[in-house]
Chain A
Amino acid sequence: MTTKPRTLFDKLWDSHLVRPQTADTPAVLYIDLHLIHEVTSPQAFTWLRERGLTVRQPARTVATMDHSIPTTPRGADGKFKILDSQAEKQLSQLEKNCQEFGIELFALGSEGQGIVHVIGPELGLTQPGMTIVCGDSHTSTHGAFGALAFGIGTSEVSHVLATQCLLQNRPKTMAITVEGQLRPGVTAKDIILAVIARLGIGGGTGHVIEYRGSAIRALSMEERMTVCNMSIEAGARAGMVAPDDTTFHYLAGRPRSPQGVDWDEAVEAWKRLPTDPDATFDREEKFDAAKLEPMITYGTNPGMGIGISAAVPAPENATMEKALGYMGLEAGKPLLGKAIDVVFIGSCTNSRISDLRQAASVFKGRKVSSGVRAMVVPGSQRVKKQAEAEGLDRVFLEAGAEWREAGCSMCIAMNGDQLRPGQYAVSTSNRNFEGRQGAGGRTFLASPLTAAASAVTGRITDARQLVG
């Protein structure tokens, strides 16, 4: 009997079916790793208590604090200043929940703390072939390792806590193939912003994307995470990259990676995961890496993106008109040279050490333009420590940028780090929705290179012109 060629997604789906889909019921899918944080979990624990349930697999559940925590430097007493009593309650609730149900927690102030999608990979918790969920739409980040990873709501958080399973209908598959070589100054962030600009913010709905092709293979793990991270911004459930030597090299020796004989066995199994040569996808899109340029968004969703030297497009409908109105932009005019107020470098999209190195390469020997506030927020305490060991913190501080503690910070603006009404920001984060970075704030999404270059000039800038 010959088996039908399967995609990476097919293999992961098949191997996690506790019960297949029927005409009347969705599939029961087993979840290998459940990541939780303070904002989308409290109600789930309350429901568990109300029904007298326990956590089925505490060892497959890991918690951190990231969304509502302060990222301002600690006080002289080494303590964090929590924004308000509500945030404080949410944090203490998570601590209590983890204690009561036996869940490992990387609390504020601990060495392992950081943005949930930064710490999973850096600890080696995220591994190829796993199903991974979290009450956060950017869980797609973990797909960079050849895992099936997607965001869920709080009801589903309670489902996974209680049963380690989820009810799921099989999504469709989409191949996004990026062939060729990126030109200097064009980054993983620019790839994904170009993908979303083509698909549109709803274009990937119902699909799991596999990113393929020579340009994807050439990316580092951190760059692949940036690409997979924003899959949801095209509406896709998940984004994945097949594991290869780059993946194995990244994972080798991480604290939670398999060790010794287990490692060898794991790698053998992981090598069987990539999509079979003759497997087909429900939809395919192709991109030429050499034709991509640095991307930036002009509107109020991540699909409204253009090449950095392009002009703001003419509105095609009322929604786009509303977006340009909110952004205070005129169609036909370029974004280059537009004055900005704030630069935010951070978030689960671009807060890893390679992102900070890129930003530092621009800041080195330069100053943040007067009148611009630049914030650099590392994704985790480990990233922070590494950056400080490399002297990157000095580069940022000497340039006049703020060097912060690890967290989501101004990406979601829950912790007091936020734009004032009307302010313009160039941000390395993932969402430019109205008010996302603070009520009335206006966001241009771009790469760390573009963000840093714009901080230095005080205007939207093509980093290639600055660095050469």
Chain B
Amino acid sequence: MDPIRTFQTKTVVLPIENVDTDQIIPARFLKVTSKVGIGAHLFADWRYDAEGKEKPDFILNKPAAKGAAVLVAGDNFGCGSSREHAPWALYDYGFRAIVSTSIADIFKSNSLKNGLLPIVVDKATHAKLLAAPGMDVTVSLEKQTLTLSDGTAVKFDIDPFARYCLMNGQDELDFLLAQKEEIARFEATPR
């Protein structure tokens, strides 16, 4: 995974609440044993018709959405199934951050392990973003800010350890593996 510091991009807006991971990637696409090319199935049932043709009305299929790396979505994004295929698909498609007023726990945890930033903002900021699809924004993981096109920099929270890993392109597993001795001690202690 490439280290993340600061990036500039535009937004795409999906103003739907409670977007569940079954919508992000339907279960029939989970029969894979790798994650290569999984972005092709992102939002499959919203993006394609029964014949597999793109639905022109769906936001990601509109020319204006091409190249946007920030997805602004409604409250409680990523609820439901724990499938990590959801952040894999979003990342593989090209998204690098999800912005919402709240993001579901397991999805958030999975995203942080895959270079996809879950950014929770206040309602007023969210409303500004919803009202201006395609807005040019800057995400700074170093400063923990999302800067809107009007220059407002909005601070966001992120787990400090996940931030460290993302900024340095490191893996949480390395940290756990380094706890070998403490784990062995725990296992040897009667409970």
Interface residues of A (CB under 8 A from B): 15, 18-19, 23-26, 28, 30, 39-40, 42-43, 46, 51, 53, 56, 67-68, 84, 86-87, 89-90, 93, 135-137, 151-156, 158-159, 162-167, 169, 171, 201-202, 205-206, 232-233, 235, 237, 301, 303, 317-319, 322, 412-414, 421, 431, 433-436, 439-440
Contact = CB atoms under 8 A, between A and B. Distances in A.
Given A152-B82, A202-B75, A436-B22, A18 B186 contact: yes
B74 A84 contact: no
A162 B177 contact: yes
B134 to A, nearest CB: 20
A136 B159 CA distance: 23
A68 B31 CA distance: 7
Contacts of A87: 31
B177 to A, nearest CB: 6
B104 A18 contact: no
A19 B182 CA distance: 8
A435 B45 contact: yes
A36 B61 CA distance: 36
A86 B31 contact: yes
B18 A301 contact: yes
B30 A414 contact: yes
B160 A24 contact: yes
A417 to B, nearest CB: 11
Given A137-B82, A165-B176, A201-B79, A439 B105 contact: no
A93 B32 CA distance: 11
Contacts of A30: 183, 186-187
A39 B29 CA distance: 10
Contacts of A19: 179, 182
A264 to B, nearest CB: 17
A335 to B, nearest CB: 20
Residue in B16, B28, B164 with the greatest tally of chain A CB atoms within 10 Å: B28
Interface string B57-82: 00000000000000000111001111
8 contacts: A90-B31, A93-B33, A137-B81, A159-B173, A319-B16, A431-B22, A435-B23, A435-B26
B64 to A, nearest CB: 20
A167 B176 CA distance: 8
Contacts of A301: 18, 20, 79
A155 B160 contact: no
B73 to A, nearest CB: 11
A15 B31 CA distance: 37
Given A30-B183, A151-B82, A435-B45, A15 B191 contact: yes
B177 A205 contact: no
B128 to A, nearest CB: 18
A217 to B, nearest CB: 27
Given A18-B179, A42-B34, 8 more contacts: A30-B186, A43-B35, A165-B176, A202-B79, A205-B76, A205-B102, A232-B80, A412-B27
B82 A46 contact: no
B145 interface: no
Nearest to A301: B18
B22 A433 contact: yes
Contacts of A431: 20, 22, 80-81
Given A159-B176, A301-B20, A322-B16, A201 B76 contact: yes
Given A84-B31, A152-B106, A202 B18 contact: yes
Interface string B1-41: 00000000000000111101011001110111111000000
B76 A167 contact: no
A156 B114 CA distance: 12
Nearest to B26: A435
B110 interface: yes
Contacts of B82: 40, 135-137, 151-153
Contact of B173 (A23, A40, A158, A319): A158
Contacts of B183: 18, 28, 30, 56, 163-165
Given A155-B84, A235-B76, A46 B34 contact: yes
B110 A155 contact: yes
B149 to A, nearest CB: 24
A99 to B, nearest CB: 16
A165 B179 contact: yes
Nearest to A320: B17
A71 B171 CA distance: 39
Interface string B128-172: 000000000000000000000000000000011100100000001
B109 interface: yes
A235 B79 contact: yes
B50 interface: yes
Contacts of A440: 45
Given A137-B106, A165-B176, A40 B159 contact: no
Contacts of A84: 31
Given A26-B161, A163-B177, A155 B80 contact: no
B109 A153 contact: yes
Contacts of B84: 40, 43, 135, 153-155
